[in-house]
Amino acid sequence: MAKARKVVLRFPHRLVDKPIIYRLVKDYDLQFNILKASITPEEEGLLVLELSGKKKNYEEAISFLTGAGVETQLLAQDVLRNEGRCTHCGACVTQCPVNAFRVDLATRQVEFIETRCIACELCIKACPVRAMEVHL
C-alpha cells in the first residue's frame, strides 16, 4: 500500500554533502517528492519530502535515516497554530494552496487540518495576528 507521508528531514552539517536521499530510492524502494529544501551554509540542511512506498520500507528507511544522523519528523508538527492567538478571522483560508484551513459553517471557526499542511509557510505572514508559527 503506497501511502504518502510528509516528513521533515534535518541534516547536520557533516551530512549535507552525503548521497542520502538516493539510498531511499535504491535500498527502500520509496518514491519521493521534494516539497521544500534549504541548506544554511555551515549549518544544516532542511528537506521536506513526501515519501510513498510500502509501510515496512518506509519504517526501515526512517530507521536508516535516524541511524545516519538525520533528524526526522512528521511534517504536521512543523507548522503550528498558536490557539491562544488565533482570532478565527479566516485570512489564512484562501492563502493555503492545499486547503489545510476550513471554516466551520456553523460556528464560523477556522479549523487547521495539520495533516494537509505542506509547510509552505504562506499562511505565516498572511495571518494578521501571526498565530501561525513555524517550529523547526
Partner 1 sequence: MENSETLSLRGSYNRVDKPSALKIFCKFDIIHIFLAAGRMMSKTIAEINEKIAKGQAVVVTAEEVIDLARKKGVAKTAKEVDVVTTGTFGPMCSSGAYFNLGHSKPRIKAGGGTVYLNGVPAYTGLAAVDIFLGATAIPNEDPRNRSHPGEFSYGGGHVIEELVSGKDVKLVITAYGTDCYPRRKVETWINLDNMNEAVLFNMRNAYQNYNVAVNLGDHTVYTYMGVLKPRLGNANYSTSGQLSPLFNDPYYKTIGIGTRIFLGGGAGYITWQGTQHNPSVPRTNKGVATRPGGTLAVIGDMKQMSPRWLVGSSFIGYGATLTVGIGVPIPILSDEILNYTAVTDEELLAPIIDYFEGYPQRSPDVLGEVSYAQLKSGKIRVKGKDVPTASLSSYSRAVEIANILKDWIQKGEFYLTDPVAPLPGADSGATCKPMQERPFEE
Q: For residue 40, state whether it binds partner 1 (rule: CB under 8 A).
A: no
In the complex with partner 1, which residue's Cβ is closer, 39 or 91? 91
Binding segment (CB under 8 A) for partner 1, from list 5-13, 29-37, 71-79, 126-134:
126-134
In the complex with partner 1, which residue's Cβ is closer, 15 or 93? 93
Shortest distance, position 128 Cβ to partner 1, whole Å:
4
Residue in the block written with cell 460556528: 107
* DSSP secondary structure of 36-87: EEEE-TTSEEEEEEEEEE-HHHHHHHHHHHHHHT-EEEEGGGTEEE-TTT--
Q: For residue 88, state whether it binds partner 1 (rule: CB under 8 A).
A: yes
| Burial group, residue 92, by CB count within 10 angstroms (0-12, 13-18, 19+) | buried
Q: For residue 135, state whether it binds partner 1 (rule: CB under 8 A).
A: no
